[in-house]
Amino acid sequence: MPKRRNELRERLSPAAVVFALLVLATLAAFAYSQRAKREPLVLDRVTFIAPPHPRGTPKVHSFTPNGDCRRDRIRIKFRTTISGRGTVQVIKPGGRVVYTLARDVFLKRYTFHVYYWDGRQRGGGTAKPGRYKLRVELGSERTLVTPGTIRLHPSPEKTKSRCGTGAGAGGVAP
């Protein structure tokens, strides 16, 4: 009987064992990726539009916070597919936080959430012209950065505000 065991070991070369392990790892990776594909999106239907937006006019996806009551803020609208407490922030593409729109708020699933950003930054003053992103942190386990960009254009000139006060003047409204 001992000779048969040696014969079996001789037939199983190290290359065959490595090949069998690679086939098993490939099957496991395929099963995992199929499972991940079936999970629903956590953040969807994201839009960035500068109000006011009269019906029938083209949508503007950039804004200039110069106080002239025209495109002084951007409306950020998104939907979450899971519920949880979260933080909504405007960030530079590198990840640096520019402004926090909401901190530790309850984001209900399958509900649209609307925030307005008037171009302010954390330390005060207006953020520099450029492209910005939206980051939503849901709990401590998920950090989602939206694929679209928020474009802040330079204002052609500093004008005095002819707007009233409050959210209509470009302030942040919940």
The 10s digit of each residue's pLDDT in 119-128 is: 999 988 889 9
Residue 19 tokens, joined: 């090949």
CA pair distance 62, 48, nearest whole angstrom: 8
Domain 43-169, CATH: 2.60.40.1930
Full-model pTM: 0.68
Quote the pLDDT of residue 17.
Answer: 87
Quote the pLDDT of residue 156.
Answer: 66
CA pair distance 112, 3, nearest whole angstrom: 72
CA pair distance 24, 152, nearest whole angstrom: 50
Quote the pLDDT of residue 33.
Answer: 83
Quote the pLDDT of residue 172.
Answer: 45
Higher-confidence position of 19 and 154: 19
